[in-house]
Amino acid sequence: MLSIPLGILAFKYKQLGQMILGIVGMIQTIPSLAILVFMIPFFGIGNAPAIVALFLYSLLPIVRNTYVGLDEISPQLKESAQALGLPTMARLRLIELPLASRSILAGIKTSAIINIGTATLGALIGAGGYGQPILTGIRLDDISLILQGAIPAAVLALLVQGLFELAEKWIVPKGLQI
């Protein structure tokens, strides 16, 4: 995963961080259909351009939430960890990332749910999936065919939301859970 390390870099090196956040922010502003189409000259038609486009679309929520999660840690906690003599990487692994885990997990959850909806558009460039019956249903003006793609996609998004809620109880330290 590239997003969390990019978020850490953005936090640790503020000038580089502004560039990273700016680039992933610009990628996110490109409409999803456009980014899918932009990938065709590089990866052809099918799954590859859809996967790359979904990857690019997933960057912003995770990078930004990693940055924000690390930025919101109180300076006193950071100073305490430093006073204990923890090296920089140990502080990051043992103190900062666990404290930022709620925010990071929220970014991953947001990214996953956005990508489920965006993935249905992959059918427009030959990637198939739940988008295929939706597109065919639209062409044939067949509501039942549209629902054959739309309902499973919606159920999948709700299932992923629920799984992330459960994962939060397991991943986020007990003292940080709401």
Q: Which domains does the chain have, with CATH numbers?
A: 3-176 (1.10.3720.10)
Q: What is the pTM of this model?
A: 0.89
- What average pLDDT does range 152-171 have in this prediction? 92
DSSP letter for each residue of 11-46: HHSHHHHHHHHHHHHHHHHS-HHHHHHHHHHHH-SS
- pLDDT of the residue at 178: 67
17 is written with which tokens? Answer: 């961080």
Question: What pLDDT does 51 receive?
Answer: 95
Q: Please give the span between the terminal C-alpha atoms of the chain, in angstroms, as a whole number.
A: 26
- pLDDT tens digits for 100-139? 999 999 999 999 999 998 999 999 998 989 999 999 999 9
For 20-32, what is each residue's pLDDT tens digit?
999 999 999 999 9
Q: Check whether 169 has a pLDDT greater than 90.
A: no
| pLDDT class of 35 with cuts at 50, 70, 90 | very high
Q: Tens digits of per-residue pLDDT, 57-114?
A: 999 999 999 999 999 999 998 888 889 888 999 999 999 999 999 999 999 999 999 9
How far is it, in rounded angstroms, from Cα 94 to Cα 139?
54
Q: Which of 155, 135, 154 is nearest to 146 (CA)?
A: 135
Can you point out the beta strands (E) in the chain? none
- Of 128 and 18, the structure prediction assigns the larger pLDDT to 18
Give the residue-averaged pLDDT of 39-53.
94
Alpha-carbon span 4 to 67, nearest angstrom: 9
> What is the pLDDT at residue 82?
87
At 163 the pLDDT is 95
